[in-house]
Amino acid sequence: MKTLMHPTKLMLVALLVAAAGLTAVTAQAQPMAGWHGRHGPMMGDEGPRGPGMGLSERMLDRVKATPEQRTQIRSIMDAARKDLQGQRDAARALRDQLVQQFTQPNVDANAVEALRQKQLAQHDQTSKRMMQAMVEASRVLTPEQRSQLANAMKQRRDMMERHLRERRAIDAPPKS
């Protein structure tokens, strides 16, 4: 005979799953480390990869960026990375506080909401800094290079969407 989980334990498990999901979403929105050779973001050794931060060596090769342009863009992105290093630790602390809230015997909805608001403010600050870096980097490229870059990014997005559709078709349950 199966034993059902006590309603209180079930609620705690559901809250922990929800907190883990929110933590995962928050973690994805935060700057990530990663210089991945010719394919990674132009951010130095531990650079953030925020919205629009996919300027890789390969992309700069496609637009025939000069060595001077590459140096300037690396400098811009390195500065952004350094500016955002402290935010990464702050984001981790907020996520830890959120998980802690959900492990309390009584979850304080006001405290959880306050942490959510802090996360939103931090995401906004990160996004602003990364967009500032992208604007600065775009000024290094010529209008033609930016157009080529936009076309390359569109082609990549279209390819990724096509792969996603194909994957969903493969994973879809068979029609009866």
Give the pLDDT confidence score for residue 139 in this predicted structure: 95
Tens digit of each residue's pLDDT (9 = 90 or more) over 9-51: 544 444 444 444 444 444 444 433 333 333 333 333 333 343 3
> What is the reported pLDDT for 54?
52
Q: Provide the pLDDT confidence category of residue 7 given band limits of 50, 70 and 90.
A: low
pTM: 0.60
Burial profile 62-77: b = 16 or more Cβ within 10 angstroms, e = fewer: ebebeeebbebbbebb
Residue spans of the domains in the chain: they are: 28-165
